[in-house]
Chain A
Amino acid sequence: MPAKPKIGFYWCASCGGCEEAVVDFAEDILGVVEAVDIVFWPCAMDFKKADVEAMPDQSILATLVNGAIRSSEQEEMAHLLRRKSQYLIAYGACAHLGGIPGLANQFSREHLLRFVFEEAPSVVNPNKVRPALDAEVKGHHLTLPELRHVVRTLDQVVAVDFYIPGCPPTPKITQAALKALLGGNLPPRGTVLAPDIALCEQCPRKATKPADLSFAEFRRTHVTHSDPEECFLAQGIVCMGPATRGGCEAACTCGNMPCTGCFGPTSRVRDQGAKILSSLCANLAPKQGKEIAEVLAGIPDPVGTFYRYGLPKSLLRRRVDLPAGNGNGKES
Chain B
Amino acid sequence: MNPAAASVWNEAQARAGAAAQAQRRRVTIDPITRLEGHGKIDIFLNDQGDVEHAYLQIPELRGFEVFSIGRPAEDMPQITSRICGVCPTAHHMAATKALDDLYQVEPPPAARKIRELVYNAFMLEDHALHVYLLGGPDFIVGPDAPKEQRNVVGVVQKVGLETGKRVISMRRRVRELIAYFGGKVIHPVLGLPGGVSKGLKPEDLPRFKELGKDAVEFALFTLQVFKDIVLRNPEYVNLIKSESFTHRTYYLGLVDAQNRVNFYDGQLRVVNSTGKEYAKFPAQRYREFIAEHVEPWSYIKFCYLKPLGWHGFEEFPQSSVYAVAPLARLNVADGMATPYAQKAYEEFFQTLGGKPVHHTLANHWARVIEMIYAAERIVELLNDHEITSTNLREIPQAKPKTGIGVVEAPRGTLFHHFETDERGLITMANLIVATQNNAARIAMSVDKAAKGLIKKGKVDEGLLNRVEMAFRAYDPCFGCATHALPGHVPLCVNIYDRNRSLVRQLRQGC
Q: Which residues of A contact B (CB under 8 A)?
A: 11-21, 24, 26-27, 42-49, 67, 71-74, 76, 99-101, 103-104, 106-107, 111-113, 115-117, 120-125, 129-132, 135, 137-138, 140-145, 147, 167-168, 220-226, 228, 248, 251-257, 260, 300-301, 303-304, 308
Q: How far is the CA of A135 from the CA of B42 in the complex (A)?
A: 13
Surface stretch bound by A, among B59-67, B238-246, B348-356: B59-67
Contact check, A46 vs B63: say whether CB atoms are below 8 A apart: no
Contact check, A131 vs B486: say whether CB atoms are below 8 A apart: no
Cβ < 8 Å to A, chain B residues 201-228: none
Contact A257-B297, Cβ < 8 Å, known A15-B84, A104-B62, A121-B417: no
Q: How far is the CA of A117 from the CA of B67 in the complex (A)?
A: 15
Contact check, A116 vs B291: say whether CB atoms are below 8 A apart: no
Cβ < 8 Å to A, chain B residues 400-442: 417, 423-425, 428, 430, 432
Task: List B contacts of A141 (CB < 8 A).
Answer: 25, 500
- Which among A106, A117, A255 is the interface contact of B197 at CB below 8 angstroms? A255
Contact check, B78 vs A260: say whether CB atoms are below 8 A apart: yes
Instruction: Determine how close the nearest CB of chain A comes to the CB of B78; give it in whole angstroms.
Output: 7
Task: List B contacts of A76 (CB < 8 A).
Answer: 34
Contact A27-B165, Cβ < 8 Å, known A145-B60, A301-B70: yes
Contact check, A301 vs B57: say whether CB atoms are below 8 A apart: no
Contact check, A111 vs B66: say whether CB atoms are below 8 A apart: yes
Q: CB of B115 within 8 A of chain A?
A: no
Q: Which residues of B contact A (CB under 8 A)?
A: 25, 29, 32-37, 42, 44, 52-53, 55, 57, 59-63, 65-67, 69-75, 78-79, 82-86, 88, 99, 103, 147, 151-152, 165, 168-169, 171-172, 175, 179, 181-190, 192-194, 197-198, 286-287, 290-299, 301, 303, 306, 310, 393, 395-396, 417, 423-425, 428, 430, 432, 479, 484-488, 490, 496, 500, 507-510
Q: How far is the CA of A71 from the CA of B486 in the complex (A)?
A: 12
List 5 other contacts, CB 8 Å, given A131-B61, A304-B79: A11-B486, A14-B85, A19-B488, A24-B185, A27-B169
Instruction: Determine how close the nearest CB of chain A comes to the CB of B489; give it in whole angstroms.
Output: 9
Instruction: Determine how close the nearest CB of chain A comes to the CB of B476; give it in whole angstroms.
Output: 13
- Which among A104, A125, A137 is the interface contact of B297 at CB below 8 angstroms? A137
Contact check, A73 vs B83: say whether CB atoms are below 8 A apart: no
Contact check, B62 vs A72: say whether CB atoms are below 8 A apart: no
Instruction: Determine how close the nearest CB of chain B comes to the CB of A101; give it in whole angstroms.
Output: 6
Task: List A contacts of B37 (CB < 8 A).
Answer: 13, 71, 73-74
User: Which residue of chain A has its CB nearest to the CB of B63?
Assistant: A112
10 contacts across the A-B interface (CB closer than 8 A): A15-B82, A43-B488, A71-B60, A106-B67, A124-B293, A131-B294, A142-B57, A145-B36, A224-B395, A257-B189
- Which among B192, B295, B425, B488 is the interface contact of A222 at CB below 8 angstroms? B192
User: Which residue of chain B has its CB nearest to the CB of A123?
Assistant: B292
Q: How far is the CA of A147 from the CA of B67 in the complex (A)?
A: 15
Contact A222-B298, Cβ < 8 Å, known A16-B479, A123-B292: no
Contact check, A15 vs B66: say whether CB atoms are below 8 A apart: no
Task: List A contacts of B424 (CB < 8 A).
Answer: 220, 222
Q: How far is the CA of A188 from the CA of B430 in the complex (A)?
A: 45
Contact check, B193 vs A123: say whether CB atoms are below 8 A apart: no
Contact check, A300 vs B425: say whether CB atoms are below 8 A apart: yes
Q: How far is the CA of A20 from the CA of B184 in the complex (A)?
A: 12
- Which among A16, A130, A248 is the interface contact of B86 at CB below 8 angstroms? A16
Task: List A contacts of B52 (CB < 8 A).
Answer: 138, 140
Task: List B contacts of A254 (CB < 8 A).
Answer: 183
Task: List B contacts of A125 (CB < 8 A).
Answer: 293-294
Q: How far is the CA of A248 from the CA of B186 in the complex (A)?
A: 12
Residue from B55, B62, B181, B182 whose CB has the most chain A CB atoms within 10 Å: B62
Contact check, B85 vs A19: say whether CB atoms are below 8 A apart: yes
Contact A104-B66, Cβ < 8 Å, known A122-B286, A138-B53: yes
Task: List B contacts of A44 (CB < 8 A).
Answer: 151-152
Q: How far is the CA of A16 from the CA of B488 in the complex (A)?
A: 8
Q: How far is the CA of A129 from the CA of B65 in the complex (A)?
A: 19
Task: List B contacts of A14 (CB < 8 A).
Answer: 85, 485-486
User: Which residue of chain A has its CB nearest to the CB of B175?
Assistant: A24
Task: List B contacts of A140 (CB < 8 A).
Answer: 42, 44, 52-53, 55, 496, 500
Contact check, A145 vs B423: say whether CB atoms are below 8 A apart: no
Contact check, B299 vs A131: say whether CB atoms are below 8 A apart: yes
Task: List A contacts of B417 (CB < 8 A).
Answer: 121
User: Which residue of chain A has its CB nearest to the CB of B35?
Assistant: A73
Instruction: Determine how close the nearest CB of chain B comes to the CB of A240; give it in whole angstroms.
Output: 12
Contact check, A116 vs B297: say whether CB atoms are below 8 A apart: no
Task: List B contacts of A24 (CB < 8 A).
Answer: 172, 175, 185-186
A-B pairs, top 5 by smallest CB distance, nearest first, are A17-B85, A255-B183, A112-B63, A222-B74, A15-B85
Task: List B contacts of A137 (CB < 8 A).
Answer: 55, 295-297
Contact check, A122 vs B287: say whether CB atoms are below 8 A apart: yes
Instruction: Determine how close the nearest CB of chain A comes to the CB of B197; give it in whole angstroms.
Output: 4
Instruction: Determine how close the nearest CB of chain B comes to the CB of A314; give it in whole angstroms.
Output: 15
Instruction: Determine how close the nearest CB of chain B comes to the CB of A53; give it in whole angstroms.
Output: 12
User: Which residue of chain A has its CB nearest to the CB of B486?
Assistant: A11
Task: List B contacts of A220 (CB < 8 A).
Answer: 72, 74, 424
Q: How far is the CA of A236 from the CA of B188 in the complex (A)?
A: 22
Instruction: Determine how close the nearest CB of chain A comes to the CB of B458; give it in whole angstroms.
Output: 21
Contact check, A252 vs B66: say whether CB atoms are below 8 A apart: no
- Which among B286, B297, B428 is the interface contact of A142 at CB below 8 angstroms? B297
User: Which residue of chain B has its CB nearest to the CB of A221?
Assistant: B74
Contact check, A304 vs B72: say whether CB atoms are below 8 A apart: yes
Instruction: Determine how close the nearest CB of chain A comes to the CB of B39; give it in whole angstroms.
Output: 12
Contact check, A168 vs B295: say whether CB atoms are below 8 A apart: no
Q: How far is the CA of A270 from the CA of B63 in the complex (A)?
A: 28
Contact A122-B33, Cβ < 8 Å, known A24-B186, A135-B296, A225-B395: no
Contact check, B187 vs A168: say whether CB atoms are below 8 A apart: yes
